[in-house]
Amino acid sequence: MKSKLRILSFLLFVFASILITTTESDAQCCAAGNPSSTNCSIDQGGKNSLQISYFHMYSSSDIYYEGVNQSNYKYATSDFNFSSLALSYGISNDLRLTADLGYFLNKSQTFTNGYNRQTSGLSDATFGISYQTYKSTDKLFDITQSLRFTVPVGQFNQEYEGVTLPIDFQPSSGNFKYNLGLVLSKRFNGSPFSLVSVNSMEVSQFIETENSRYKYGNLYNVSLIGRYAFEFGLTASLQMRCEVREKALNGPKSQDNTFNYINASGGLVAFISPQLSYNFYKDFGFTLQYNHPLYKNVNGLQLTNKYSISAGLTKSFNFSSDEKPIAEIDRDASLSKMSIKVSGNCEMCKARIEETVNEISNVASSDWSPETKELIVYYKDNKPDVDGIEQALAAVGHDTDKYKAKLDVYDKLPKCCLYRNK
């Protein structure tokens, strides 16, 4: 089964790479729908972990391109402020559910004659599932695949001064989309450096208007991210990303369903995106990213992106709904308890430590404190094997007084869980 999953992941990656080199794509700055942004800093966590993230992006576009050349043509400039709220929940250590909702605070165009038009409102909602199909503790290599569905929840027929806004200027994309993703992650033994490749293919459905049918070109993304984790919770990343969109389709409603490609749509844009992320107080994470286009190759004459900057704030939570509250367990006279010193940092560490210990024979429950580093183990009759508990904790990356986690196991912990002072 694992070998088949490896083959499937590899073929998907090759397919996306081929599309990047052979397909014409998009460089339009104002296409509706949630802006794409690859966040390469926030660790998702494991089973019963919830992440709530707020993300904001500002984008500016004032440069016209024709093919690979910048044009002196001036007609309009455009910018937007976009925010989104995202949720991510771990059904298991390998399977996660995700959801996000976008909102344009403003989306504006200013023309050379001084005329300005703008809009705002809900964009799209996206629901997804991701699964880690391959994980090698020896090679420190992981493969995660995802499937996401985008639903147009925002208003699609907005008007400005009595005129209906163009399709690609509406806050909502107005159509359903399907996104297939593949993430490859490689760590290096004993090194704070890691590599991540994020690849995706997004397919748009047709938009039905009163007199026509319209379809955004399919979008393809390939990126390579280098990350360096500092010991005090800061991670610096550098991303090289290539976005490709096919030409859009448009055509009148008719029985023969005849469509025409929109010549001034589609192209290829390569970005460089430095990013800083920082994990701090009680499982909060902050990210700051700058996106700058290095290369553009567009179809026809198009207004293209000048730059964008984004910031995000994330809070992680861990839940263990199957267990009694610790206060109730502590008052249970039928239970005995013992304590063990266990190294760790945060709530993600707490969930991992307690989940590991609770699976050991004779353990009724456990409670680990990130502040004191003390693990309380509750048991009823026979005392659990203390040596076995400490070995099990070291095996998942947490040092005890007697056993130390192997470096390759420790290095694959989420960045907020790295407790050793180098």
Tell me the percentage of the chain whose pLDDT exceeds 70: 82
- Alpha-carbon torsion 68, 70, 76, 81, what sign? positive
Other Cβ atoms closer than 10 A to 171 = 27
pLDDT score of 40 more than 70:
no
Closest CA to 195 of 156, 250, 238, 234: 238
pLDDT score of 183 more than 90:
yes
pLDDT score of 334 more than 60:
yes
pLDDT confidence of 333, banded at 50, 70, 90?
Answer: low
Taking only the tens place, the pLDDT of each residue in 205-234 is 888 777 668 889 999 999 999 999 886 778
pLDDT score of 144 more than 70:
yes
pLDDT confidence of 21, banded at 50, 70, 90?
Answer: very low
**pTM of the predicted model, to two decimals?**
0.71
Q: Which residues, other chains included, contact 139 with Cβ-Cβ below 8 Å and sequence gap of 6+?
A: none
Name the residue with higher pLDDT: 22 or 370: 370
Domains assigned to the chain: 2-318 (2.40.128.130), 326-417 (3.30.70.100)
Distance (Å, whole) CA 342 – CA 71:
62
Lowest average pLDDT, out of 238-247, 319-328, 389-398, goes to 319-328
Distance (Å, whole) CA 158 – CA 163:
8
Q: Which residue has the tokens 């991701």?
A: 130
Name the residue with higher pLDDT: 140 or 83: 83
Distance (Å, whole) CA 203 – CA 218:
5
What average pLDDT does this structure show over 128-144?
84
Bridge partner residues of 143 (DSSP): 134, 184
Residue 374's pLDDT is what? 92
pLDDT score of 2 more than 70:
no
Mean pLDDT of the residues in the chain:
83
What are the structure tokens assigned to 163, written together? 């005129």
pLDDT score of 111 more than 70:
yes
- HSE-up of residue 406 (Cα within 13 Å, Cβ side): 10
Distance (Å, whole) CA 96 – CA 103:
24
Strand pairing report for 219-229 and 193-204: antiparallel
Distance (Å, whole) CA 62 – CA 251:
29
pLDDT score of 168 more than 90:
no
pLDDT score of 160 more than 70:
yes
Give the burial class of 146: count Cβ atoms within 10 A of its Cβ; 0-12 exposed, 13-18 middle, 19 or more buried: middle
What are the structure tokens assigned to 106, written together? 């403003």
What average pLDDT does this structure show over 128-150?
87
Q: Which residues, other chains included, contact 144 with Cβ-Cβ below 8 Å and sequence gap of 6+?
A: 130, 131, 132, 133, 182, 183, 185
What average pLDDT does this structure show over 112-134?
92
